[in-house]
Amino acid sequence: MNKDIKINTHGLITKGKYTGWYIYVEDDSNDGGGYYILFKKTLEYNTEGYDHWMENFEDVKNCFEVEQWEVKWLD
C-alpha cells in the first residue's frame, strides 16, 4: 500500500469509504486556495461524484486518515 498522496493524479480507492471509486486531489492554491478532493464512480465525464474542499495539505492528509483511504495511483 502506498501512503503517499499524489496531487493532480487519478487514483483508485482500494480501501475505506467509496472503495472502488476514483479519486483526484487538485491543488487550487493559485485560484481559490486550498485543495479539492474529487471522487467519482468511474473515470467517465458524466458520472456520480462528490468533492471535499480542504484549506491546506494537512487537512487533506487528515481526510485520508478519517476516510481510511488507501489509493492505487494511476500514474
The model's pTM:
0.87
DSSP string of 20-65, one letter each residue: T-EEEEEE-TTTTSSEEEEEESSSSSSS-EEEEEESSHHHHHHHHH
Give residue-wise pLDDT tens across range 17-64.
999 999 999 999 888 789 999 999 999 989 999 999 999 999 999 999
* Domain range list for the chain: 10-73
CA angle 20, 73, 48 (to 5 degrees): 40
